[in-house]
Amino acid sequence: RLVLRAERDTVAPLVLGFSDIATVHANGRPIMRGHARYTQDLPRQEGVIGLHQGVAWLPLRRGDNEVLVQVSDDFGGWGVMGRLPGGYGVELVSTP
């Protein structure tokens, strides 16, 4: 769970790496769901987390916004990482 403060109404990217399944919510609304499960068949996925697995375009209002990344596990553990690029007038205010 993150609180992001936006200088103005904007749409900002949250670049994500996750395993196995991630759902991103912005201000209570689901905006993205992605799968990065370990698979042996085509396409083979090693289950390694990297910042190439998804981008959630966050519709943010001016002021404080709550972003929740819900992660679930299919096999072998779970994890999540993210990056909020600069230039969108958004700052991280808090994480629990």
pLDDT tens for residues 17-28?
988 889 999 999
Query: Residue 4 has which token pair?
Result: 């992001």
* Per-residue pLDDT at 93: 94
d(CA 31, CA 71): 14
pTM: 0.84
> How long a stretch of residues is the chain?
96
Rounded distance, CA 46 to CA 23, Å? 20
CA nearest neighbour of 65 among 1, 4, 10: 4
Report which of 1, 36, 34, 33 is spatially closest to residue 19, judged by C-alpha positions.
36
| Residue-wise pLDDT tens digits, 62-87 | 999 999 999 988 777 788 999 999 99
